[in-house]
Amino acid sequence: MVYSLTQSEVNSLYGRPGLEGYRAEPMLARLIEGGVVPALSYILSKSPPEDEEANCEYARALRAVMIRLGLPTPPEAPPCTTS
């Protein structure tokens, strides 16, 4: 999926607590309609978080978008617990 976002929108998405490990990586995206466009892909640059570090809000929001777009989705994770 390729989205056109303003810098403010990118900051809003990736500036949230728990997402500090994501880094923009330049790439070329091949479009289904044909053509190639330059893009930035945000890649997690560290090991995946431990269970207690999981960003449940982000995971739920991402899963909801995947469902809305008709994409295959992983099984819903158990609800997050607070300690």
Report, as an integer, the average pLDDT of 69-78. 74
* 32 vs 58, residue with greater confidence: 32
Question: How many domains are there within the chain?
Answer: 2
Let me know whether 33 and 71 are in one domain: no
* 39 phi, psi to nearest 5 deg: -150, 165
Same domain for 23 and 59, yes or no, is: no
Give the 3-state secondary structure of residue 34.
coil
Range of the structural domain that residue 52 is part of: 48-83
Q: How confident is the model at residue 73 (pLDDT cuts 50, 70, 90)?
A: confident
Closest C-alpha among 17, 77, 21 to residue 45: 21
pLDDT tens string 19-37: 888 889 999 999 989 999 9
Same domain, residue pair 53 and 42: no
Q: Could you tell me if 36 and 57 lie in one domain?
A: no
Q: How many CA atoms lie within 13 A of 7 on its CB side?
A: 0
